[in-house]
Amino acid sequence: MISNATPVFAVDEKNLVPVSEHLKQMTDIPPSRMFLINKSLKVYQEKNPGLPIFDASQGDGGASLPGVPKAILERALELQIAHGSAYDMPFGTEAYRKSVIEQYWKLDSSSGWGPANVLATCGGRDALVKAYQAMMALGHGREGDIIMVSRVPWISYNWGPYGVGANVLWTPGDPAQGWAYSEEAIVESVKFAETKGRKIAGLVITNPDNPTGLTIAVEKQVSLAKCALDSGVAFVLFDWMYHYVTDESPMDLNSFLKYFSSEERKRIMFLDGLTKSLGASNIRNCHLIADEAVIKFITARASHGVIPTFYSLAVAMAAYEMGLAEAARTIIEPTNASRVALKTLVGNSGLQHIIGKGYYAFMNVGEFIRAKGWSDTEPLGQYLAENHGVAVVPGAFFSPFGGDWIRFSYATPVERTEGAFRQLMEGLHSLAS
């Protein structure tokens, strides 16, 4: 018996987290400037009252397009009222899990995956952070290992893993190919990690990509994932958040899973949600689908951390009940129309560019920033917003390899996309004059 006057650890001493000084050695994690870039438009408005402004910086269909239809929000409210306001499970609810599997993915029972393979989260960032933690713990069982991402990744892919004890590795890639992953680059990255005494806990494959908009064919996604798993990467996560916002068919989980053996399926995860397809940025609904052991691991920890709100689940269930293609029509249709228009505009401009699917085009504006004497596109974002009334995201925000590039969001009606591109080109040519 231990006296109540004696301090006692909450876990057995053999299970204590080892002391490390790495926290004071870490670089500071900067706030995302994605939420600030369009604020510079106010300067332009003050100087040019009455003139239109164009926000091509964020893919937020809840701001630039109609967002979640009123009927879905009202149906979700009905579900919330009927459900009440008591605690739910850390994975969401059984009804939500069933809706994701049966109404959204229509997943065949022969896959071996069902409702128990679903975890609800508070948006994509929450899902990703929980996935990174599972990758490290259930993969090689070590902090300080690596999450592998593309050469020019979404900003939060850089800092989300780092904040929970993983290091981030930018995989080799050719800008002429949109920095696309290759099997050779994955193998090279695994070897590089080994020389640093580290292992790869996870690879993130995003399709369509953010920030480049690059689209990866199904067969290529499978090939990359199998290469990673065969090379010793612990987990592969497929981020499909943008896959409904295209002019093609969305990803089909039923057919995709058939490419992987039962053993391989234990090491793959899928992320999807409402943020992009439904313009539900502040609804914060996302789901993670993975092996049941992974879901149980995350659920246990979520019970002490972040639990999703029922209303966010209800919005998803209402949308899936309607059918997401129909529910998201007011987001998908104008975005697809803007993509067609932008392809013509940027094609005629002579700018090197990437425009696949999803919400974004990535454009090389290096000749213009060098004409101004700038080393990268960071100052360009503020300049364009304040002087030409158009907000874009500097590629330098994503990684130094994107320093000559900008991200242009076309998640707007066609006339807004055309106006934004017109102002962009006016601003770029002003730098060279």
32 vs 387 pLDDT, higher one: 387
Query: What share of the chain in percent tops pLDDT 70?
Result: 100
pLDDT of residue 169: 98
Transcribe 339-403 into DSSP letters: HHHHHHHHHHHT--EE--STTEEEEE-HHHHHHHT-SSSHHHHHHHHHHHSEE-EEGGGT-GGGT
Q: pLDDT category, 192, cuts 50, 70, 90?
A: very high
Mean pLDDT, to the nearest integer, of 177-199?
Answer: 97
Q: How far apart are the first and last CA of the chain?
A: 82
pLDDT (average), residues 277-304: 97
State the average pLDDT over residues 45-64. 93
Q: What is the mean pLDDT of residues 189-217?
A: 97
Percent of the chain topping pLDDT 90: 96
Separation of alpha carbons 357 and 250, rounded Å: 11
| Residues 74, 4: Cα–Cα separation, whole Å | 54
| Alpha carbons 391 and 55: distance in angstroms, whole number | 5
| Mean pLDDT of the region 173-198 | 97
Averaged pLDDT for residues 380-406: 97
pTM (global) more than 0.85: yes
Mean pLDDT of 390-394: 96
User: Is the pLDDT confidence value at 36 over 90?
Assistant: no
pLDDT at 35: 73
378 pLDDT above the threshold of 90: yes
Closest CA to 222 of 258, 173, 170: 258
Q: pLDDT class for 260, splitting at 50, 70, 90?
A: very high
**Which pLDDT tens digit goes with each residue over 278-291?**
999 999 999 999 99
| Statement: residue 407 has pLDDT above 90 | yes
Q: Which pLDDT belongs to residue 59?
A: 84
